[in-house]
């Protein structure tokens, strides 16, 4: 087989890249290890920045998002027995977030690509990139896909970054001493907006996916196991961490899914090696506290699409040469914001009273200062670049 851009990974990054390239007249083939059902059902992120919403809308894949997504114009910080709203509409007028599950974005993109005749190969075994500094190609299951460039959109554990020779990439990492227990429940949300709760028992997040489905997260020990959390314990702990302000009561219902997510920060530099371009989780990971992972992937492939279109249309490699530096500027801003939110809201096992007082002092500053609240708001809805 032959195509212009060989894309590894049928997550949001790979699928959106394929669709954006199609809109610019550039051919691509997407190779995915998992089956279609797995890709469309895997529950991950759900907060879309304003820029992500704009990209999906402009690409013609935002109709269902606009019908079913939940626009939010603020979030709540809950600590010390009080609730404090960060009002996006006042602090960053005209910009907001939309709650719409990553799996729904994937469904929309798969449908759009197939309707346009796009080629997505699911259940593809043994994908391997070759000749990254020459004439690249991908092998899989006895087949060969020749291409001009390869886009590595296959996540943190994927094969593309691992194909780069040792010493060619520099990595920056930080692991956190706790994890998140993610819970999806068939119950109507107990609040209209996201609640970030800091308590002596640990962090909790109240979110949602629809008017009937709620999403929750609990800070748990790093080595925690899912089977240590039966439904009764989940609801009891959520209530203990969220029912800390007068009048708030947590709605409960059947737990649909639960999983443990490690908390880590990771960046690889550069995001390019020869004719391989890394995007999304293949190049960087952020702790989910700042809701940046999916949004960074969308930003990466938007930059890569423009660079590839420039190259194919004019022969100029300026955009491709600048791809890594352009993306990393946004990546490191998101890394800092995610690190900041994580340290601000979580309980650390070895934290002394001094550190706890510092967290409280900064939360007081964020919730009382317009300047500090604006910094949080503009980072949360997505910086304009």
Which residues are known catalytic residues? Answer: 72, 196, 288, 292, 380
Distance CA(152)–CA(124), nearest Å, equals 15
Angle formed by the axes of helices 293-314 and 318-345, to 10°? Answer: 170
3 state DSSP class of 61? coil
Provide the token pair at 115: 């309707």
Distance CA(30)–CA(66), nearest Å, equals 26
Distance CA(207)–CA(305), nearest Å, equals 32
CA-closest candidate to residue 372, choices 340, 339, 328, 342: 340
CB hemisphere CA count around 74 (13 angstroms)? 14
Query: Residues near 297 by Cβ (< 8 Å), separated by ≥ 6?
Result: 11, 12, 13, 16, 153, 279, 280, 281
Q: Contact at 8 Å (CB) between 291 and 47? A: yes
CB neighbours of residue 48 within 10 Å: 29
CB neighbours of residue 382 within 10 Å: 26
Q: Contact at 8 Å (CB) between 257 and 68? A: no
Distance CA(344)–CA(362), nearest Å, equals 8
Angle formed by the axes of helices 12-23 and 293-314, to 10°? Answer: 30
């Amino acid at each position: 087989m032959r195509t212009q851009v060989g894309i590894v990974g049928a997550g949001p990054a790979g699928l959106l890249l394929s669709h954006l390239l199609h809109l610019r007249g550039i051919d691509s083939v997407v190779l995915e290890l998992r089956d279609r059902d797995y890709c469309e059902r895997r529950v991950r992120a759900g907060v879309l920045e304003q820029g992500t919403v704009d990209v999906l809308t402009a690409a013609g894949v935002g109709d269902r998002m606009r019908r079913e997504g939940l626009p939010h114009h603020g979030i709540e910080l809950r600590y010390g027995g009080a609730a404090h709203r960060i009002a996006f509409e006042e602090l960053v007028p005209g910009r907001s977030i939309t709650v719409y599950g990553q799996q729904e974005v994937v469904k929309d993109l798969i449908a759009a690509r197939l309707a346009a005749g796009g080629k997505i190969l699911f259940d593809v075994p043994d994908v391997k990139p070759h000749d990254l500094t020459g004439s690249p190609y991908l092998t899989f299951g006895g087949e060969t896909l020749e291409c001009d460039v390869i886009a590595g959109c296959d996540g943190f554990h994927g094969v593309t970054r691992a194909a780069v020779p040792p010493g060619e990439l520099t990595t920056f990492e930080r692991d956190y001493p706790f994890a998140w227990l993610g819970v999806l429940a068939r119950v109507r949300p107990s609040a209209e907006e996201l609640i970030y709760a800091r308590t002596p028992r640990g962090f909790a997040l109240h979110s949602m996916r629809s008017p009937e489905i709620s999403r929750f997260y609990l800070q748990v020990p790093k080595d925690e196991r899912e089977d240590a959390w039966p439904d009764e314990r989940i609801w009891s702990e959520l209530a203990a961490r969220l029912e800390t302000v007068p009048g708030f009561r947590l709605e409960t219902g059947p737990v649909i899914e639960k999983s443990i997510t490690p908390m880590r920060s990771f960046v690889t530099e550069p995001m390019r090696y020869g004719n391989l371009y890394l995007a999304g989780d293949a190049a960087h990971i952020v702790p989910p506290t700042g809701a940046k992972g999916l949004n960074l992937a969308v930003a990466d492939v938007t930059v890569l699409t423009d660079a590839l279109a420039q190259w194919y249309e004019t022969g100029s490699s300026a955009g491709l040469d600048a791809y890594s530096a352009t993306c990393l500027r946004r990546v490191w801003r998101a890394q800092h914001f995610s690190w900041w939110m994580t340290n601000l809201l979580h309980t650390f096992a070895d934290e002394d009273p001094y550190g706890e007082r510092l967290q409280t002092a900064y939360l007081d500053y964020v919730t009382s200062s317009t300047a500090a609240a604006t910094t949080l708001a503009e980072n949360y809805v997505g910086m304009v670049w």
